Amino acid sequence: MNGLEIIDFFKPLEDNKNLFIRNIVLPSNIPDQEQVITGPAKNGLTHGYAQDIPVLFSRLHKTFSRYGLLYEVQVLPCQTSKLQENTSDEKSLPQTDIESLCYYAFVKFYSSVSAEKAKSALNLTHFVGTKACKVTFAKRKRTGSEKQVLFISQCFDLANFYLGFNGWSSSIKELKRELTDVCLSSKEDYCCFACTTNIVIHHHGLSVNGKGFSLLKFSSEDPASQIKAHGRCMKQAYQDSIQKAFSKVILVILGNGKVYTDINSSVPEDLEEFQPSYKSVAVTELEVEPELASDEDNLDEENINILSELETVFM
């Protein structure tokens, strides 16, 4: 099946979903309608890092989002060789010379098919500023870190884009406070909540559950602190459960645009009990009790003399 693609609810790390855009040079005067985005220019100037980057972000996001849902857009400044020959300190340049500054950007898609379409359509044909942009796949060095689940807002965006606003629904099955070992053994006050959320993909017959936890510390002497901690803890537990539920879903995109859903079998089952993320302290049990210092070792000479006199009296 040509054009088949599988998209999960994890942050996209693949190079074939990440586009590198270079050769971005803005004109010295930014159009008036785009100056509204960045606010009034300082000293009557309309060119510089602070003014250009929000404008470029808006332009790139509007252009590339035509080809698919975007995960993120990053705009970064770079200097031309002309500026590097003049001075290595950007702050020492007069404001009128900053018109030689250029930029590059990274645009990341959720779909590799969408990224390929954008690259083919926009490479050397799209003008963000005064020159045609070069669009290629990025080649970034990645560490061996585990894939991270999307934030709850990104899960909603991805589900709405491919399934539609009415294509799925969520409901809380259980939200309760838990008395964990941390809450019972710690001298400080903690609150822990567990939330189980169910997500249903309509017209696909798919239903998944996610169980999330949250642990927060509060001050028992401040009632307001306890109320806020409980509210935040319940909210974070709900968000964690939503993210874990979506992590179990994969989207199967066909070449004709149809979308199917299935269970992501690579995701482990949720924990039934809260597991703290910090490392526990190892305690070694001694076979022989250590010898304790006598009380006399902690007394000064004056106290020892007093004790000696008392012993003489009562003998």
Q: How confident is the model at residue 290, as a pLDDT?
A: 52
Q: Are 64 and 168 in contact (CB under 8 A)?
A: no
Q: Are 215 and 178 in contact (CB under 8 A)?
A: no
Q: How confident is the model at residue 151, as a pLDDT?
A: 96
> What are the pLDDT digits (tens) for 263-303?
998 888 765 555 554 443 344 445 555 554 444 444 455 55
Written as six digits, the tokens of 213 are 């936890």
Across the beta sheet with 259-263, the strand order is 5-8, 249-253, 259-263
Q: Are 69 and 163 in contact (CB under 8 A)?
A: no
Q: How confident is the model at residue 173, as a pLDDT?
A: 95
- Give the chain's domains with CATH numbers: 12-28+47-80+99-141 (3.30.70.330), 152-273 (3.30.390)
Dist CA 250 CA 265 (whole Å): 9
> What are the pLDDT digits (tens) for 102-130?
889 999 999 999 999 999 999 999 888 77
Q: How confident is the model at residue 114, as a pLDDT?
A: 95
Q: How confident is the model at residue 130, as a pLDDT?
A: 78
Dist CA 137 CA 124 (whole Å): 14
pLDDT beneath 70, residues of the chain: 1-2, 27-49, 79-100, 143-145, 180-187, 270-315
Q: Are 135 and 118 in contact (CB under 8 A)?
A: yes
Q: How confident is the model at residue 163, as a pLDDT?
A: 95
Helix ranges (H only) for the chain are: 32-38, 49-64, 81-86, 112-122, 152-163, 181-185, 223-246, 301-314
- Angle 223-246/152-163 helices, nearest 10 degrees? 40
Q: What is the pTM of this model?
A: 0.72
Q: How confident is the model at residue 196, as a pLDDT?
A: 95
